Structure 1
Amino acid sequence: MAFQGKKLINDPNDVVTEFIEGLVETYPGLQYLDGFPEVKVVLRADISGSTHDKVAVISGGGSGHEPAQAGFVGEGMLTAAICGDVFASPPADSILAGIRAVTGPMGCLLIVTNYTGDRLNFGLAAEQAKSEGYKVEMVIVGDDCALPPPRGIAGRRGLAGTVLVHKVAGAAAASGLSLSAVAAEAKRASEFIGTMGVALSVCTLPGQVTSDRLGPGKMELGLGVHGEPGAAVADLQPVDVIVSHVLKQILSLETNYVPITRGSRVVLLINGLGGTPVMELMIAAGKVVPMLQLEHGLAVERVYTGSFMTSLDMAGFSITVMKANEEILNRLDAPTRAPCWPVGVVGNRPPAKIPVPLPLSLSTKSDETLSRPEQLSS
């Protein structure tokens, strides 16, 4: 039976505005654009379009996916994020305002998740900006591996793998590359990524009732980050079974979603959907890594586990596998001040973690010396 969702909010219509206010109060390096709250643009506080001498990297979309996208604004990652209402594409006017605010002579790259509204509004804003003399490129990310081809009119949805594209593009821009070079790296990265999610609950929009689409003991495979129905509803299984199924779907040679074959180097991202405890995400990560290594013959170079692109309060997670090379690893390891990027995952990881030997206690060592029999002490 459906029931009214419980939220710690004020007016449901103000949740995005009040989220942004809290975000910029928390992180000194972030600011919002004048014209707020009608224009909901989060940008680097140290950037002005008139003086910015690097390529600007801008993303955005509907809110409700926090920390994406605004939590990834910062030096070395996004220059600005345009926030729509909950699960609604930001209007073209807001996107255009963001482009004007942070774009200098080097131009700007728009990274857009593959949804009709986002493509339309970012595309309109890009054309208007070009007519005003700005250099603008756009890269569309569609990393969803839930549905087999044919993939429909809209194609593959943009999911959590988009955050890895933000990082690659942001690092490329920070290194001083041209707009065409930054766009080329972002596009290449987007073609290396596959993502699929599993959920135990459907999310609740602020002020709305909670859906009872998923009954007790059920899970949904391959649903979208806006709560769209997935590929299948099934009985809840142990996480070993779930992640094995998801990995086979992402890495399937039949659908050929990602150019990953045995021997490839990969990056793994385990993404919580908003209502999943860290314990459960880490359990999933601990199972996925050996499966990728032993069953799929892949070299796992980096593991990012946490909540990157959520769906409000949805219980569940998505798995993203990205083909990696030295250039991509360097971009992922490059420093960033984006507040929600996991800074602790840098450098090569060992192929296997060997436990540290148990140390002997100091008292044990002392007792051994003190308790030697007298006849052995002379």
Structure 2
Amino acid sequence: MKKLINDPSNAVREMLEGVVALSPATILLADENVVIRSGLPDAGNRKVAVLSGGGSGHEPAHAGYVGEGMLTVAVAGDVFTSPSTDAVLAGIRAAAGPAGALFIVKNYTGDRLNFGLAAELARSEGIPVEIVVIADDVALKDTVPAERRRGIAGTVLVHKIAGAAAERGLPLPEVARIAREAADRLSSMGISLGSCTLPAVGKPGFSLGENEIEVGLGIHGEQGVRRMPIASADELSRMVIDTIESDERLQRGDRVALLVNGLGSTPPMELAIMARSAVSLLEARGVVVERAWAGTFLSALDMPGFSLSVMHVDDAALDLIDAPTYASAWPRGGALNRNRILAAPRQGAVASNAPETRQTEAGARLREIVAKVALALIDAEPQLTELDSITGDGDLGASMKRGAEAVLALPARDFGDVASGLMAMANAMRKAIGGSSGPFYATGLMRASRQLAGLDAPNASQVSEAFLAAVGAVSDLGGAKPGDRTMIDALHPAAITFKEKLAEGVWTEAAWTAAVQAGLHGADATKAMVPRLGRASYLGDRAVGHPDGGAVAVGIWLSAIDWLPL
């Protein structure tokens, strides 16, 4: 792997520092990867703030679209990993006033969880917040319900329209309405000629044959909905537009804006060829292309390929699209040349400071258990990374390692008793892991902590009830049930088995051993399941044969626990 970086762990921060250095319209928060429009007025005089963001690796999104007339705030997570709730909250606190804020969120679990929780926290502080979710990926029309489609490159057009509406001083409900209407009129689809390489992983997420391409992929280096032989630019453009049309999203007489987007390593020559093809095909079908752009607007690191985004527009939408902005990455213009060919002339013409607290024996025991669990997850990073690269985006190993390191760094005083130790772990995981795993583990640990509050030495039965409560919390947050091919398929059988064995009078150590085996069996069983939730669900049957990474991670840490109770 050859990358122009220093330390992969610092790549996101250093990238943002470079972006801000070249954009006087922006400023970077000191302790979070959050880019904010510079020169904002006092809080009481601020207009509606427009926030977006997500994992890094999509440059110039999202920091490149911060500036007057577009985004107020861009929140950056690690590569292909949603930002943490705390980072989003820091952004809204720094930029929003009484007029409130609009969150523009791409339809990925991690983004929805972290932006959604940040919105709730902001509302509790008196900041009005509306959320608009972008789900423009029509490639998934036959794979998942419409409300679960991914948000991809068309998101940038919603950034532009919402930002212009906010700049005009419109109230939050009106800005949100305009943004939602724009999102509802938006369709996108991508095609890849190859994979991309995450800086921290060092190898492509998948491999293609010399003449193969991936059709209908997202923006996180994952595989598409199917694989096919390479075809011409015209054929690929026709395939995308046919898909949009078959989704009943396009018909003669429509007026549209077109975004021809490069996925990271597609040269301008090829993007211009794709633009030529897409414009010609749309016009041939009686569609009026009012505005069009070609370039790299929302990438997937160094992935070769493209996506097309088509948004229906009217005069009001065009007025917002044409409104001025100082965002450095917005290309301006977009008007089509209606007279493209000149006839040949005729021949002859011309950190924390909390006080020390008493530590119970159970609290000390929990800390010992946690250390073993954390070390097991750190050791498993390569395994989890490889597994997640098959059916996800390859970040699970790195995420679990970050969470494990954060838990290992907790001081002994945080484990005064079991409940306080679990709560400290929840906070550490929430802050260390910005993707889906962070909110899930934090929620489960918090629920277990509340279940065991006030108990200096919880017994096996109480631990069992707390375990079940934690699993229920994770299921409630993500909506997963046994059989959906998620971490629940390992957690649920382990928790149920532990409770049932104890009820049968089985010795605690034997009951826990049975619980671990049930969890491992549940994780292994995910190999045969068609995923119903998470990024693997976009692959459908193609994920069958490989276990779910989240479930495997559960099996790893279950096995690292000697036995319970504490």
Q: Among 3, 14, 19, which residue is 1:7 paired with?
A: 3
Q: Which residue of 1 aligns with 2:29?
A: 33
Quick one: which amino acid aligns to residue 332 of structure 2? Answer: V
**In the TM superposition, what whole-angstrom CA distance separates every residue of 1:257-308 from its partner, at most 9, and x where no partner exists?**
x3x32111011100000000000000000111110011x2201100111000
Question: In 2, distance between residues paired with 1:211 and 1:105?
Answer: 44
Q: 1:356 and 1:28 mapped to 2: Cα distance?
A: 45
**2:194 aligned with 1:194, yes or no?**
no
Q: Which stretch of the first structure deviates more once superposed, 39-48 or 241-250?
A: 39-48
Asked if the contact 1:49–1:100 (Cα under 8 Å) also holds between the matched residues in 2, the reply is no
Write out aligned runs for 1:207-222 (5 A). 207=200, 208-222=202-216
| Contact 1:116–1:154 (CA under 8 A) maintained in structure 2 | no
- Report whether the alignment pairs 1:309 with 2:305: no
The amino acid that maps onto 1:275 is S
Q: Is the 8 A contact 1:223 1:231 kept in 2?
A: yes
Question: By percentage of residues, which structure has more strand?
Answer: 1
Alpha-carbon spacing, 1:248–1:123, altered in 2? closer, same or farther (3 Å):
same
1:228 and 1:355, CA in 2 relative to 1: closer, same or farther beyond 3 A?
Answer: same
Report how far residue 229 of structure 1 moved.
1.6
TM-score in terms of structure 2 length: 0.60
Per-residue deviation, 1:34: 2.6
2:19 corresponding residue in structure 1: 23
Which residues in structure 2 correspond to 1:1-378 (within 5 Å)?
5-35=1-31, 39-47=32-40, 50-149=43-142, 151=144, 155-207=148-200, 208-252=202-246, 255-256=247-248, 258=249, 260-294=250-284, 296-346=285-335, 349-355=336-342
CA contact (8 A) 1:48 1:101 kept: no
Q: Distance in 2 between matches of 1:56 and 1:176?
A: 10
What letter corresponds to residue 303 of structure 2 in structure 1? M
Cα deviation code 1:24-67 (max 9, x no counterpart): 111111111132xxx11001111156254211100000000000
Gaps of 5+ in 2: 351-566
Question: CA deviation digits over 1:232-276, x for unaligned, max 9?
Answer: 111111111111111100121xx33x3x32111011100000000
Q: Which residue number corresponds to residue 409 of structure 2?
A: none
Distance in 2 (CA, whole Å) between partners of 1:119 and 1:32 is: 23
Q: Are the aligned partners of 1:52 and 1:103 in contact in 2 as well (CA < 8 Å)?
A: no
The whole-number CA distance in structure 2 between the counterparts of 1:169 and 1:48 is: 19
TM-align CA RMSD: 1.9
Q: Which runs of 5+ in 1 are unaligned?
A: 366-378
1:211 to partner: Cα distance? 3.9
Deviations 1:200-235 (A, max 9, x none): 011100032124521211111101110222111111
TM-score of the aligned structures, taking structure 1 as reference length: 0.88
Larger radius of gyration between Structure 1 and Structure 2? 2
Tell me the percent identity: 49
CA shift, 1:345, in A, is 2.2
Distance 1:166 1:153 in 2: 21
1:376: which partner in 2? none
Regions of 4+ moved over 4 Å: 356-361
Q: Residues 322 and 333 of structure 2 are in contact (CA less than 8 Å); yes or no, is this contact kept in structure 1?
A: no
Cα separation, 2, equivalents of 1:51 and 1:275 = 43
Per the TM alignment, residue 344 of structure 1 is displaced from its structure 2 partner at its CA by 2.8
Give, in angstroms, the shift of residue 358 of structure 1.
Answer: 5.7
- CA contact 1:222–1:232 (8 Å) conserved in 2: yes
